[in-house]
Structure 1
Amino acid sequence: MSSSGWAVDNQAARQGAVAVRLSGVRKVYGKGSGAVAALAGVSAEFQRGTFTAVMGPSGSGKSTFLHCAAGLDRPTDGSVELDGVELTKLGERQLTRLRRDKIGFIFQAFNLLPALTVAQNIALPLRLAGRRPEKAAMAEVVRRVGLENRLGHRPAQLSGGQQQRVAIARALVTRPAVIFADEPTGALDTRTAREVLGLLRQAVSTSGQTIVMVTHDPVAASFADRVVFLADGGLVGELYQPTADAVAERMTHLGAWAVA
């Protein structure tokens, strides 16, 4: 048992190519005749240093998939392994520590604290973990997202795109094993969305970050290395080196494009 409170095979974690693995994951809500299977035995792997988009029609299980993969929700059956750690065997306190130490989150709504400055919002995960932000690391993250001249501002003084840049920096600053992004460009205009997606792409290409992103947008998905498609709680296909047109075509065949 490590000092962090969970068992880790360090050699396997260093040598393994898989950042996240879901094996036979089922998630059922409700009981008896009212039970609904949001995920129906999903198995998937996400390699280290890759950018994967998760797509599917409304009700396909995308959000449940993301929540189970990130340890925000417990599967009814099956297992989830993240950075060499089996999540389904952890207690709530251990899960909280793992999410804090090994996972970064980016959401559509930014989720910044309005009373804190940009610098304070970025450093918040480190502060919560009892770690002092390293000046060099902070400066590098801030430079990468282009916020050098905004560190003293509060979220209300920023545009939506700038707020999402703060959220990206906050996710990157802990050097997480995986970043999970849930519709990160959903509240942004087209130009700003492309800038934000470019930052995520750069984090993968230049820093070896691992990103799993739920999106409904074929253009957003085209920034990824791979797209996996969900329908009716199951994986129904994948696409490597996607283009926006190819993703849109695949979604049309899923019967989802008109409502996604």
Structure 2
Amino acid sequence: MAVDDVVRLDAVRKVYGNSRTGVVALDSVSIGFRRHTFTAVMGPSGSGKSTCLHCAAGLDTPTSGSVTLDGREITKLGERELTILRRERIGFVFQAFNLLPALTVVENIALPVRLAGRRPRRGAVDTVLEQVGLSERRKHRPGELSGGQQQRVAIARALITQPSVIFGDEPTGALDAYTALEILDLLRQAVRSGGQTVVIVTHDPVVAAHADRVVFLAGGRFVGEILEPTAQVLAEQMIKLGTQGRTPAGQVS
């Protein structure tokens, strides 16, 4: 594992079903995500993007291979240890905001800390509320907020534990273009100012172009990456992957 990798997958293979007739979602994927960076994972439908994210986040267990987070191999942890690690070291932002409708904004944000049996640090909720621009909405419930505001609450909830890494599965998929840009700016701020690492799965080249690095999966394999990407280059690469299925591993042309 590279010194500056906060998350590392080594020869990760994931098969759903039995070994003879099962579906191979990931096929010996080895990839690292450096600390304090913003990475997007792209690939055709069925390429293994979400499975890669779920294995990296400890939400799914690889059939073989290893996943290391903050220098600790998580593939060998029991469910209780994994739950504690996810709660303390990992933040999640999904397309579905996953907020509890009966709780206020403040209560939703504080939920990960409360579930750990603790109280949020003094001023911590106010700090993340200010970060996401929702200080005046603290007593509102999710049903009283727009989609973009609900996703801001989800980001604040992900930030409250000061995690090592934030994983996002299509975090802007349910939002209009303008609101999506606002959410992406918040994720970039988490990297630049908060020192977090952000890894998102997306099919949208415009969204992925906000990342420092884009990695590509095809057929369950890592097939290349682009640094400092543009939306046009990413769109062209997605078309290429869709028609060719796979390019040689390494730097995508």
TM-score of the pair, normalised by structure 2: 0.94
1:85-130 CA-partner distances (Å, limit 9, x unpaired) = 1011111111111111110000000000000000000000011112
Of 232, 237, 241, the residue aligned with 1:254 is 241
Show structure 2 runs of 5+ residues with no match: 244-253
Of 153, 177, 182, the residue aligned with 1:190 is 177
Compute the displacement of 1:63 (Å): 0.9
Alignment-derived partner of residue 194 in structure 2: 207
Superposition map of 1:85-234 within 5 A: 85-234=72-221
Task: Output the CA distance in 1 between the equivalents of 2:18 and 2:205.
Answer: 35
Task: Output the CA distance in 2 between the equivalents of 1:120 and 1:36.
Answer: 40
1:152-205 CA-partner distances (Å, limit 9, x unpaired) = 000000000000000000000100011100000000000000000110011111
Task: Output the CA distance in 2 between the equivalents of 1:131 and 1:241.
Answer: 40
Alignment-derived partner of residue 72 in structure 1: 59
Task: Output the CA distance in 2 between the equivalents of 1:235 and 1:32.
Answer: 21
Task: Output the CA distance in 1 between the equivalents of 2:80 and 2:94.
Answer: 23
Compute the displacement of 1:137 (Å): 2.0
Q: Give secondary structure in 2 for the equivalent of 1:166.
A: helix
Alignment-derived partner of residue 62 in structure 1: 49
Moved more, 158-167 or 130-139: 130-139
Amino acid at match of 1:230: L
Amino acid at match of 2:65: G
Alignment-derived partner of residue 49 in structure 1: 36
Compute the displacement of 1:18 (Å): 1.0
TM-score of the pair, normalised by structure 1: 0.91
Task: Output the CA distance in 2 between the equivalents of 1:98 and 1:209.
Answer: 16
Show structure 1 runs of 5+ residues with no match: 1-11
Amino acid at match of 1:71: G
Task: Output the CA distance in 2 between the equivalents of 1:222 and 1:136.
Answer: 34
User: Does residue 81 of the first structure (1) align with residue 65 of the second (2)?
Assistant: no
Task: Output the CA distance in 2 between the equivalents of 1:164 and 1:154.
Answer: 13
Compute the displacement of 1:32 (Å): 4.5
Compute the displacement of 1:208 (Å): 1.4
> What is the identity percentage for the equivalent residue pairs of Structure 1 and Structure 2?
67
